[in-house]
């Protein structure tokens, strides 16, 4: 089943509501459910977003060009869409698409990302590869998705296709590293 960002948000919302609020510093391990890294969130009141950058600012055309070894100017600006949720009104998404190079979706949860971390294995199931990016990172080979966490910010990356047939894993991680470095 292919999950759209709206379904993903709903599934993560439901899973986050049913997960325990406590956090640990344990690293996620390959093949198991990811652990929830510690993050600084206010004890009460409205949480502060971990970044004011949008998905299109976190992942720029230059980031995609570098990850795919494309000539500068190949990737056009992305299309930004605000996607507020109950848990994170600052959630937004950027889409890049051009048949000459490929298509990429970037989804950013800037305030409540840490609370959805445990929900990832529940929503997508299967083993995940633990990545040493930001506070934590995961690569789900079964559905070619990368997740990167830094503080309260959760970044989701998914190529829809790459025109030259390049496997998605390495460019996803390179873009994730570049985006997390901006936070």
Segment 65-84 shows an average pLDDT of 97
Q: What is the span of the domain harbouring residue 126?
A: 47-181
Residue 176 has pLDDT above 60, yes or no: yes
Residue 93 included in any domain? yes
Residue 150 included in any domain? yes
CA-to-CA dists, residue 113 to 82, 136, 163, 165, 171, angstroms: 16, 11, 31, 31, 22
Segment 29-41 shows an average pLDDT of 46
Number of separate domains in the chain: 1
Residue 1 included in any domain? no
Residue 164 included in any domain? yes
Residue 12 included in any domain? no
Global pTM value:
0.77
The CATH number of whichever domain residue 134 belongs to comes to 3.40.1000
Q: What is the pLDDT of residue 127?
A: 83
Q: What is the pLDDT of residue 46?
A: 60
97-144 confidence digits (pLDDT tens): 999 999 999 999 999 898 887 777 667 766 889 999 999 999 999 889
């Amino acid at each position: 089943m292919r999950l759209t960002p709206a379904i993903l948000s709903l599934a993560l919302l439901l899973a986050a509501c049913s997960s325990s609020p406590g956090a640990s510093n344990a690293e996620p391990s390959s093949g198991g459910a990811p652990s929830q890294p510690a993050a600084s969130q206010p004890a009460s009141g409205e949480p502060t977003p971990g970044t004011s950058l949008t998905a299109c600012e976190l992942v720029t055309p230059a980031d995609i060009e570098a990850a795919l070894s494309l000539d500068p100017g190949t990737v056009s600006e992305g299309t930004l869409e605000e996607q507020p949720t109950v848990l994170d009104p600052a959630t937004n998404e950027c889409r890049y698409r051009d048949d000459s190079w490929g298509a990429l979706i970037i989804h950013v949860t800037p305030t409540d990302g840490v609370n959805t971390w445990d929900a990832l294995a529940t929503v997508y199931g299967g083993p995940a590869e633990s990545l040493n990016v930001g506070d934590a990172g995961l690569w789900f080979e079964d559905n070619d998705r990368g997740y990167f966490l830094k503080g309260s910010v959760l970044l989701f990356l998914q190529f829809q296709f790459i025109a030259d047939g390049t496997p998605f894993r390495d460019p996803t991680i390179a873009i994730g590293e570049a985006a997390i470095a901006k936070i």
